A = this chain, B = another copy of it.
Amino acid sequence: MSSANSLAVEDLGSAAQRDRRKRILDATYQLARDGGFDAVQMRAVADRADVALGTLYRYFPSKIHLLVSALGRTFEQAEAAMRGKPVPGDTAADRVISVLKKTTRGLQGDPHLTEALTRAFMFADASVAAEIHDVGMLMTSMLTHAMDPERGGEVTDDDVAIARVIGDVWLSALVAWVTGRSTAADTAQHMETAVRLLLRD
């Protein structure tokens, strides 16, 4: 599902246009990875992509759309790479904490990229609600799977509710970490405490 106003790949007829779009997204990715949200400046993106500023705005109507388009898929891939692998841990709480730690470590390996992505998502309005919802669903299913690895697709309402609460805590902790208000260790500790409160067996 493409964003409401960005030009999607399938909307572009010519190879030159698809190439322009790719150059723009490449430039965005590099700038975000190297310098975070503030380094993704529209003139810099246009410059690096060898495209006029007006053209950039023709393809992506705002900096937020640009970042969400450029980084959304990267984020999904990073999350999906974790799916399917066996989750270590004897209790549900241990397994959930393991998943959370691995996910968080992955994001923290590219701090600038994560900062740019998180800021863009937090600033985004309803036009990117679908993408954000997808990420939330992915997170929830990852967590319910960690809670009940045996059970195939069968999860209780309680499990889903708990997973959503953990997802909320995770998001808050991520924002706090991205904005420099807490350290990686604080983030991990806080999430572990929350999980043990919710999954006390």
Q: How many copies, total? A: 2
Task: Check if A132 sits within 8 Å of B173, measured CB to CB.
Answer: no
A158 neighbours in B (Cβ, 8 Å) = 197
A55 to B129, CA, bound (A): 39
A161 neighbours in B (Cβ, 8 Å) = 193-194, 197
Task: Check if B125 sits within 8 Å of A180, measured CB to CB.
Answer: yes
Q: Which of A67-88 contact B (CB under 8 A)?
A: none
Task: Check if B181 sits within 8 Å of A129, measured CB to CB.
Answer: yes
A126 to B172, CA, bound (A): 14
Task: Check if B122 sits within 8 Å of A175, measured CB to CB.
Answer: yes
Interface membership of A119, Cβ < 8 A: yes
Task: Check if A126 sits within 8 Å of B194, measured CB to CB.
Answer: no
Interface membership of A138, Cβ < 8 A: no
A175 neighbours in B (Cβ, 8 Å) = 122
Task: Check if B173 sits within 8 Å of A190, measured CB to CB.
Answer: no
A190 neighbours in B (Cβ, 8 Å) = 164
Interface membership of A198, Cβ < 8 A: yes
Task: Check if A162 sits within 8 Å of B197, measured CB to CB.
Answer: yes
Q: Which of A132-171 contact B (CB under 8 A)?
A: 132-133, 158, 161-162, 164-165, 167-169, 171
What residues make up the interface of A, taking CB atoms closer than 8 Å to B? Answer: 119, 122-126, 128-129, 132-133, 158, 161-162, 164-165, 167-169, 171-173, 175, 179-181, 190, 193-194, 197-198
- What 3 pairs across the A-B complex have the smallest Cβ distances? A126-B180, A168-B172, A122-B122
Beyond known contacts A119-B123, A132-B181, A168-B172: 9 more, CB 8 A cutoff: A129-B179, A161-B193, A164-B190, A164-B194, A167-B172, A168-B168, A168-B169, A169-B169, A197-B198
